[in-house]
Amino acid sequence: MMIAPALLKDFIAFLRKDKLGLLGLLLIAGFIIIGVIAPYIVPYPEDAWGLTYNVERRLQPPSRAHPFGTDEYGRDVLSRVILASRFSLIIAISVVTLSLIIGVAVGLVAGYLGGWIGSTLMRVTDMFLAFPPLLLAIAFASILGRGLENVIIALSLSWWPWYARLTFVQVSSVKTMPYVDAAKIAGIPPLRILAKYILPNSLTPVTIQAFLDMGAAVLEAAALSFIGIGVKPPTPEWGLLISDGWILIGKAWWISLFPGIALFITVLGFNLLGDTYREYSNPKIRRLAEARV
């Protein structure tokens, strides 16, 4: 169990009553579902993948045939926006997973071993944390160059320190808990204690954070793509689509607007759920919330 089961049950009960939180959950669910089935629902598949160039269909405003209009290559914007959600989903999940793997590993080792190894690892982590994450991501992306994999790597490299620190703090406190002592007294082998007693009890804050961070990952990937060091065209990605339409914003507003809205709604979903979670985990605010209805 990555998240303490009692917590999950409890949070779900709380979430049920929170309309905004439920909206957030809905938006996130929408994002994930569309991301998964995107290739099958795009009206113009070749447009979506960027494989076409139809001069006669260029720069058409929204119409029945093209609800989001067409871009300067004559590609259907709706299809591009839908397919872009898949890439955002891939990026979000990959970044968060990769960062978790690296971060949790570092935090676990540092927290469990403590001493000078722990301090050293945390010092290194702190060095990374001293930089604003986007800046770090930009630095890495510039070195690695454009491309989907590079975006994922660049973002993960800038992200893992947060999870390392979260994990470190948790592990440091969990290893002093009586149930860890009890496991030692019962003769349970140290590796099993690490895996089943320390790790699961340290993961909850960091996995929750990771899930909610997916929104931020989508946003940062879009930012990288927007300034030209993210995904390689013609791969559709919301940030890239926005920047594509940027120079034409006055004449063909639809090219940037719709990807922008999609990005906004997705990030909003994660933020709303994140807000509900923050409310849930703060006892004072939570009691006020429970008094509602």
Partner 1 sequence: MGGSLLTIKDLHIDYRARGETIRAVRGVSLELGFGETLCIVGESGSGKTTLAMAIAGALPPNATIRSGEIVLNNVNILNNREYPRKLVSLIPQEVGSSLSPFHTIEQVFLDVLTSKGVTDKGEALKIARSTLSLVGFSDINRVLKSYPHELSGGMLQRVLIALAVSRRPLILIADEPTSMIDASLKRDVVELLKNIVLTQSASMIVVTHDIALAPHLCSRIAIMYSGEIVEDGLSTEILANPMHPYTVMLLESIPRILSPRKLKAIPGLPPDPRSTLTGCSFEPRCPKAIKGLCDKIKPPLSTIESTRRVSCHLVQGKEVTLNEDPSS
Partner 2 sequence: MKTPLLEAVNITVSFPLRRGLLGNVVESVKALDNVSLSVVEGEVLGIVGESGSGKTTLARCLVGLVKPDSGRVLYVGNDIFKLKGALYRRFRREVQMVFQNPYTSLNPTMKVKDIIKDVLKASGNWDARGEERVKDLLKAVGLGEDVLHKYPSELSGGQAQRVAIARALATKPKIIILDEPTSALDVSLQAQILELLSDLKRRENLTYIIISHDISVIRYISTRVVVLYKGRIVEEGPPGEIINNPKNPYTRKLVEDVLYLYEFIEKR
Binding residues for partner 2 (CB under 8 A): 1, 4-6, 177-179, 181-189, 192, 196-197, 200-201
- Which of partner 2, partner 1, none lies near 17, with the C-beta cut-off 5 to 8 A by kind? partner 1
| Other beta carbons within 10 Å of 36 | 12
Q: What are the structure tokens assigned to 271, written together?
A: 């933020």
Cis peptide before 205 (omega within 30 of 0): no
Tell me how far, at minimum, the Cβ of 11 lies from partner 1, in Å: 10
**Sign of the CA dihedral running 17, 19, 21, 23:** positive
- Which of partner 2, partner 1, none lies near 149, with the C-beta cut-off 5 to 8 A by kind? none
DSSP state letter for 76: B
Query: Quick check: 194 and 209 in contact, CB under 8 A?
Result: no
- Which of partner 1, partner 2, none lies near 14, with the C-beta cut-off 5 to 8 A by kind? partner 1
Cross-strand partners of 70: 76
Near partner 1 by CB under 8 A, which window of 171-179, 209-217, 242-250, 283-291?
283-291
Using CB under 8 A as the binding rule, whether residue 290 contacts partner 1 is answered as: yes
**Judged by CB, which is closer to partner 1: 14, or 277?**
14
Query: Quick check: 280 and 22 in contact, CB under 8 A?
Result: no
Query: Quick check: 107 and 171 in contact, CB under 8 A?
Result: yes
**Judged by CB, which is closer to partner 2: 16, or 192?**
192
CA distances from 81 to 43, 72, 238, 278 (A): 11, 15, 7, 31
**Judged by CB, which is closer to partner 1: 130, or 291?**
291
* Cα angle: 198, vertex 207, 146; to 5 degrees: 125
Using CB under 8 A as the binding rule, whether residue 16 contacts partner 1 is answered as: yes
**Judged by CB, which is closer to partner 1: 13, or 101?**
13
Label residues 18-33 b or e (16+ Cβ within 10 Å = b).
beebeebbebbeebbe
Q: Binding to partner 1 (CB under 8 A): which residues in 239-268? A: none
CA distances from 241 to 20, 133, 161, 260 (A): 29, 23, 30, 8
- Find the binder of partner 1 among 29, 101, 143, 288 (CB under 8 A): 288
DSSP state letter for 1: -
| Other beta carbons within 10 Å of 72 | 15
Using CB under 8 A as the binding rule, whether residue 14 contacts partner 1 is answered as: yes
**Judged by CB, which is closer to partner 1: 6, or 186?**
6
Near partner 1 by CB under 8 A, which window of 13-21, 41-49, 155-163, 268-276?
13-21
- Which of partner 1, partner 2, none lies near 290, with the C-beta cut-off 5 to 8 A by kind? partner 1
**Judged by CB, which is closer to partner 1: 247, or 288?**
288
Question: Which residue from 51, 101, 93, 95 is spatially nearest to 76, judged by alpha carbons?
Answer: 51
Tell me how far, at minimum, the Cβ of 291 lies from partner 1, in Å: 4
- Which of partner 1, partner 2, none lies near 115, with the C-beta cut-off 5 to 8 A by kind? none
Tell me how far, at minimum, the Cβ of 16 lies from partner 2, in Å: 19
- Which of partner 1, partner 2, none lies near 291, with the C-beta cut-off 5 to 8 A by kind? partner 1
Positions that interact with partner 1 (CB under 8 A):
10, 13-14, 16-17, 287-288, 290-291
